[in-house]
Chain A
Amino acid sequence: MKVLVTVKRVIDYNVKVRVKPDNSDVDLANVKMALNPFCEIAVEEAVRLKESGKVSEVVVASIGPKACQEQIRTALALGADRGIHIDTPDMPESLVVAKLLAKVVKAEAPDLVVMGKQSIDGDNNQTGQMLAALLGRPQATFASVVNLEEGKAVVTREVDGGLQTLSLMLPAIVTTDLRLNEPRYASLPNIMKAKKKPLDVTTPESLGVEMTVHTRVLSVEPPAERSGGIQVKSVDELIDKLKNEAKVI
């Protein structure tokens, strides 16, 4: 059984995010980049499935400029077998990402695609769902447990108010939630081995996908700076402020 995992290069979660002076985007110049944490969970899940003997190959794919090969190598160091880099000048929008991945899925024919539920930069939470729709395959998003059985995947999802368990016919798409697993630390020998694992590069042209733009970023604003707190004199004053100023109760 083959699993395809998708990974995205994003700003490291430890970095304090700055907005460009012209408000056009987040400033990524010389900022530490990392593997999107939800993608890391997806890689970990695939590697665990492989270690359990249910999966024979883990392929990892990423889209973006050449630098995203670093994140593919990280995934290979965590235990994936080989990488596919779809070389694009910048980061395409979710629908284009889904179309590119759909082509990769058709070529690779994985039994399961494991993706992060969203990336911590855009927080769109769309690509997995779009990919499933484009391929006409079953999907289980926000997975907290994934079990592979004969010809199907049994996935527990975190939904409002509790857990939902779905049984999906394979091939299928699963997106990971935070509690699915705790990713391992890459070991030194595996970091060294990752250099030698195969990494193929392809382009949107050779996959036959047009980089159409459907959405445009108008402006990026930093969140409002936290203003200083005040001390209230009584519980009544607190309730009054919550009701009438903050309007939260």
Chain B
Amino acid sequence: MSDYKHPYRDAEFVLNELVGFDQLCAVAGLDDINSELASVILTEAGKLGSDVLAPLNVEGDTRGAKLGEQGVEETFGFSAAYAQYVENGWPSLTAKEEFGGQNLPNVLGTAVNEIWHTANMSFALCPMLTQGAIESLVHHGSDALKQNYLPKLVSGEWTGTMNLTEPDAGSDLAAIKARATPEGDHYRITGQKIFITWGDHQMTENIVHLVLARLPDAPAGVKGISLFIVPKFLLDEQGNPAQLNDVSCVSLEHKLGIHGSPTCVMSFGDNGGAVGYIVGEPHQGLSYMFTMMNHARQSVGLQGVAISERSYQLAVQYAKDRLQGTRKDGSRFPIIEFPDVRRMLMQMKASIEAMRGLAYVAAAETDRVHSATDTSQAKHHQDRVDLLTPIVKGWITEVAQELTYLGVQVHGGMGFIEETGAAQHYRDARILTIYEGTTGIQALDLVGRKTLMNKGTVLSALLDEIAQVQQELAASSALQNESRALDTALTAAHEALQWLLDNAEKDASVAGSISVNFMMMMGYVCGGWVMGQSALKAQALLNAGQGDSAFLHSKLITSAFYCDHLLPRATGLLAVIKAGSQSVMSLPNDQF
């Protein structure tokens, strides 16, 4: 079965050459953090990922979580692996020092999280959700809640969950029905939540649920939702888990993929009401969700990079081993020598590098918000985070579908057979365009809130920045092809943006009709931005006689492939965008 090796050189190339990690740390005042330390951290995380988490990936798929007498029983082996992960201190990487964290940059956390997701995405979902719980408490929790819950969540001794969705409230959270009734210094929570990732397990001695519910006097709709913390075990005087709270997992979903990650139906208050504590102010729950949405959505985008990388590594290994060609002298050769197999592998490799680059660059923008010295600088970076987030989530996870599809295709008939492992990645990837906001939701966010609401100025500023990279490419005689390809794509992007601005108000269906294609186009253009910079940096290093020339040449070839095969998709998408809503909307419902 598949071995996983962390592609440390690709990750470090992005961190050092595209993100400028040393400079980012210097600006943030993190004097003793630098690329050398990052390299050590990635190496050590890579060991745990390859040796401990990756071998459990198939286990999770074939022997997924089960609901037993005492609640959810996770895949055998996950508990020991989780204990090791906690013992080694990885959960604390980006958290603040005051809660026991290491206060390392978000972009480094992203690079490390890529390792966990690539090694074992089902497993890594658990700490990813904990991260969400930590974020909500850090930003909105009272001091008492922070003291009681944050240190254990940061250390990973307890895990966290996010309880948002209900049977009638999915993308439309305004329809939430769960209730919270005041009772002394706490609340009693009742209701049912579904699709709760890692809602229960036996790996830790407590689980901290973040729950959206309505107070008795709550106004209807989105402005009447509050956020509560509901621990699985209530804490005693010393802060240790003691009495079981009135919350339990009543069933597990049977899913297409990520079988190692228990997806729970959670029931609150079957016996009078689960004790919960309000986080922040009443009725502000949904706005609190927005503060951590960028991080959560970027994390899912990162999962798209990760699952594609795993699928790619498996496909490369198979393509090198599988002998299916015969030369004139009778000797056999592996399928990697067939042009169409190479096309598939190159498409995987080039897309993954563009996706990884974009995911890290977007993650670094969050660090730059925090280290900005004035408000206009902070606003610039925050606008960039807000703009890139739906592209990172939406575009990367959509492309991940195509890449894991190719990962199966490279295997031919064996790809359809579960034992090669290619199919698992294909199935596991499928959730990524759905949870944390579907592709449609991401695209609407990009077109509406992130573009139309500011009249396209934020996107325009990004396109201008990409144009600078195009200018640099134009000035390099070796990169004329890349320069032309990026220029064509940029022209298309400008035209699409202008068309959107001109037409959105005339026809209310326009934005929703073109949004996904618009988002995909901007994704490919951002990929061109990343790959253009990658080519420039590789060329500069080669010109200076630095670095590993084979590695740097492969960067140039991969960029060239991206510009030849993937960037031109932007032009095709422009035609679709300009077709507008007419043929999307005109068929009467009863004709479907």
Contact = CB atoms under 8 A, between A and B. Distances in A.
Interface string A168-195: 0000000000000000011111111001
Interface stretch (B89-97, B343-351, B448-456): B89-97
B84 A185 contact: yes
Contacts of B37: 191, 195
A112 B491 CA distance: 70
A197 B403 CA distance: 45
Interface in A7-22: 14
A147 B36 CA distance: 37
Contacts of B548: 29-30
A187 B88 contact: yes
B105 to A, nearest CB: 13
A186 to B, nearest CB: 5
Interface in A184-218: 185-192, 195-196
A116 to B, nearest CB: 18
A32 B44 CA distance: 13
B100 to A, nearest CB: 9
B458 interface: no
Contact of A191 (B8, B40, B52, B547): B40
A188 B8 contact: no
B47 A187 contact: no
Interface in B47-90: 47-48, 51-52, 84, 87-90
Interface residues of B, number: 24
Interface string B15-36: 0000000000000000010001
B41 interface: yes
A131 interface: no
Interface residues of A, number: 19
B40 A187 contact: no
Interface string B205-244: 0000000000000000000000000000000000000000
Contacts of B427: none
B40 A188 contact: no
B380 interface: no
Given A29-B548, A74-B40, A188 B5 contact: no
A187 B87 contact: yes
B551 A188 contact: no
Contacts of A191: 37, 40-41, 44
Given A70-B40, A188-B44, A191-B40, 18 more contacts: A29-B548, A70-B36, A73-B40, A74-B40, A185-B44, A185-B51, A185-B84, A185-B88, A186-B88, A187-B87, A188-B88, A188-B92, A188-B93, A188-B102, A189-B92, A189-B102, A190-B89, A192-B102
Interface of A: 14, 29-30, 32, 34, 70, 73-74, 77, 185-192, 195-196
Smallest CB-CB A-B distances: 4 pairs: A30-B548, A188-B89, A187-B88, A187-B89
Interface of B: 5, 8, 32, 36-37, 40-41, 43-44, 47-48, 51-52, 84, 87-90, 92-93, 102, 547-548, 551
